[in-house]
Amino acid sequence: MTKMLASARAVVAALIAVGCFGATAPHAQQPNGPPNALQGFSQNRDKPIKINATTLEVRDKEKMATFAGDVHLVQGDTTMRSKTLVVFYDDDTAPKPAKPPAGTAQAGTSVNQQIKRVEARGNVIVVQKDQTATGESGVFDMQANTVTLLDNVVISKGPNVVRGEKLTVDMTTGDSRVECGKPPCRVQMLLIPSSVKQETRGPEAAPAPARDVPRPRSPQPSGPH
């Protein structure tokens, strides 16, 4: 039990140490591809991660930890929900005994965690502001520095919708790519021109207040001469 709790603490500490899903981009640049909620993880890469779930199970031999039960992940203004969230880490990430300081009776543990991959499974929903992306599963690949949403992918921003089978976002640049499977599968987009005009136009200027116009005087009745 003590070892399991130590492993669980180490996994959670590693997620906090990662600090974000994605490395810092060397130069700020405008992301390419369709705007979508997954880009929020790139934009919030310097923000801490908070995870809420019903249970956390750590299998130290398999080097994996599973959050289950209405998993809710928050990073900055981006949120993700899924049925489960599985964290895979390297073999050398188990807590190692640390040299106890002088005067103490027990040694602590030092954490040297390296998260390899994080998988969100089951009804994945990612929301950032007015953007939503949904799919059956999502994969955060720490080595490739990408996040991918898979199967029945739907991207929406207001009334505009993009559908495909795979959405990939480069966490370094924020660029995104929507793909589909074998033909006859095709990437589909529904674009409402009026909504695009409203976004680019911005708030309309308020009408100028009406000026008071002097009312014409009514003619005075002429008296007897």
- Domain assignments of the chain as residue spans, ordered by start: 2-93+111-194
Which of 4-13, 18-27, 91-100, 133-142 shows the highest mean pLDDT?
133-142
Answer yes or no: are the C-beta atoms of 132 and 126 closer than 8 Å: yes
User: Angle at the Cα of 187 (from 127 to 72), degrees rounded to 5?
Assistant: 20
pLDDT of residue 181: 82
**Token code pair at residue 57:** 């199970």
- Residue-wise pLDDT for 43-56, tens only, equals 887 888 899 999 99
Alpha-carbon gap, residue 225 to 207, rounded angstroms? 51
| Secondary structure of residue 18 in the 3-state scheme | helix
E-assigned strand segments in 35-145: 49-52, 55-59, 64-75, 78-89, 96-97, 109-110, 115-128, 131-141
Burial class (CB in 10 A: 0-12, 13-18, 19+), 200: exposed
Q: What are phi and psi of 51, to 5 degrees?
A: -125, 130
- Residue-wise pLDDT for 14-71, tens only, equals 555 444 455 544 444 567 888 889 888 888 878 888 999 999 999 988 999 999 999 9
Answer yes or no: are the C-beta atoms of 68 and 52 closer than 8 Å: no
Question: Of residues 215 and 161, which shows the higher confidence score?
Answer: 161
pLDDT at residue 96 is higher than 60: no
Helix boundaries (H) for 34-90: 39-43
C-alpha pair distances (Å), 166 with each of 136, 151, 162, 177 = 10, 6, 11, 8
pLDDT of residue 174: 86
- Residue-wise pLDDT for 106-137, tens only, equals 433 334 458 889 999 999 999 999 999 999 99
pLDDT at residue 82 is higher than 90: yes
Domain 2-93+111-194 top-level CATH class? mainly beta
**Token code pair at residue 77:** 């203004």
